[in-house]
């Protein structure tokens, strides 16, 4: 979360519906959570994924994240300008979009989805290199969206290692 997020006023329900970009960037309202909006934003990806999974295969949902990413660049850019803060903590579309492909690869097993959730939140909060540097250098909607893609990449690598260890080493069969 950017340092200027702490001092800026938080958006409210009126702001949420004032512009379609706000509704998207604030994760359908999940970003309005007073505490841990990024976690609530990531949680909002679950019902979105489950709804999409009724009509699309997992690989299609993972690829759907690409146009949703660019939608987020626009929405976060507009919302950041309107809030006066480039990367306000209430903007959680980046968490939703970055987490969708992880949900897609974690299968329909809720336990694996929860492992993917925990890993994504860990890397999104921790921000190992080069995530913090990206956050500083890349501004606007692209900067908001890009750091979470990198966090998702780290989470994917950790998730793959987890799968290998649990399934291959320990012989877990469900």
33 assigned to some structural domain: yes
Average pLDDT over every residue of 71-97? 97
- Tell me if 80 is assigned to some domain: yes
In a domain, 174, yes or no: no
Considering only residues 171 and 47, tell me which one the structure prediction assigns the higher pLDDT: 47
Determine the pLDDT at residue 172.
67
| Neighbouring residues of 9: CB distance < 8 A, sequence distance ≥ 6 | none
pLDDT at 95: 98
Average pLDDT over residues 34-59: 97
Read off the pLDDT band of 92 (50, 70, 90). very high
| pLDDT higher than threshold 60 for residue 160 | yes
The better pLDDT of the pair 102, 135 is held by 102
Residue 49 lies in a domain: yes
Model confidence, pTM: 0.91
| Average of per-residue pLDDT across 61-90 | 97
Residue 109: other Cβ atoms inside 10 A: 10
Residue pLDDT, tens place only, 117-150? 999 999 999 999 999 999 899 999 999 999 999 9
Cα gap 75→79, rounded to integer Å? 6
User: Is 101 a domain residue?
Assistant: yes
**What is the C-alpha to C-alpha distance for residues 34 and 90, in angstroms, rounded to an integer?**
9
Range of the domain at 75: 3-169
Q: How many structural domains compose the chain?
A: 1
The pLDDT score that the predictor gives to residue 101 is 97
Tell me if 39 is assigned to some domain: yes
Confidence class for position 1, pLDDT limits 50, 70, 90 = very low
Determine the average pLDDT of the residues in 5-18: 80
> Is residue 121 a part of any domain in this protein?
yes
């Amino acid at each position: 979360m950017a340092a200027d997020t702490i001092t800026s006023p938080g958006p409210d329900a009126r702001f949420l519906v004032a512009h379609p970009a706000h509704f998207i960037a604030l994760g359908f309202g999940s970003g309005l959570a007073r505490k841990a909006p990024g976690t609530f934003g990531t949680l909002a990806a679950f019902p979105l994924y489950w709804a999409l999974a009724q009509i699309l295969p997992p690989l299609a949902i993972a690829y759907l994240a690409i146009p949703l990413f660019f939608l987020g660049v626009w929405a976060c850019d507009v919302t950041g300008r309107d809030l006066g803060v480039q990367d306000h903590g209430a903007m959680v579309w980046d968490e939703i979009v970055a987490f969708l492909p992880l949900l897609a690869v974690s299968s329909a097993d809720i336990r694996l989805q929860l492992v993917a959730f925990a890993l994504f939140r860990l890397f999104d909060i921790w921000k190992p290199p080069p995530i913090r540097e990206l956050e500083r250098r890349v501004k606007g909607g692209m900067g908001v969206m890009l750091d979470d893609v990198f966090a998702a990449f780290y989470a994917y690598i950790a998730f793959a290692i987890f799968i290998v260890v649990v399934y291959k080493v320990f012989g877990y069969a469900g």
